[in-house]
Amino acid sequence: MPSKEQRQRLIAELVQEEFISTQAEIAERLAQSGIKVTQATISRDVTELRLVRVPSGRGRHRYSATPLVMQDDVERELRDCFKRFVRNLDRGENVLVVSTDEGHAAGVAYVLDKLEREEIVGTLAGQNAILVVARTAAAAADLLGEFEGLLD
């Protein structure tokens, strides 16, 4: 049985080289290669590979890889989110609390997660607040300073 990485590499190659419009077609192509997986596994793979269905004309769709977002674009997006939606920042040891306008915490947390910063262990979003867990108290202090700079 191939590893998850090998299976996902094959799926990425399949959608790049062939017209594949459903997860069932992905399963069929994998089975033809001797790889039997469940629909749930394919669904997770599609999500992890960030595959999307795009129009291909005549009412048909096909899977395609989304372009990778450049780090500068993510940082610009974060700056925009902070200016538009963040209202307050606070810190307690290695945890930051980012207060947002009502209903915007999940969106800002999503952009924070896209940064893929080593010093951020994870985020947890509510309706109007995000907990940002930093690896250390010193990292949290640095992040707080950085985030405050985004509000200016």
- 94: number of CA atoms within 13 Å, CB side? 12
Listed residue (71, 72, 2) closest to 30, CA to CA: 2
pTM beyond cutoff 0.85 = no
Does residue 80 contact residue 112 with C-beta atoms inside 8 Å?
no
- List, in order of start, the domains of the chain with CATH numbers: 4-65 (1.10.10.10), 71-150 (3.30.1360.40)
Q: Could you read off the pLDDT of 63-94 as tens digits, one per residue? A: 887 655 456 688 888 999 999 999 999 999 99
Q: Could you read off the pLDDT of 96-134 as tens digits, one per residue? A: 999 999 989 998 998 899 888 899 999 999 999 999 999
- What is the structure's pLDDT at 68? 53
Burial state string for 2-20 with b = 16 or more CB within 10 A and e = fewer than 16:
eeeeebbebbbebbeeeeb
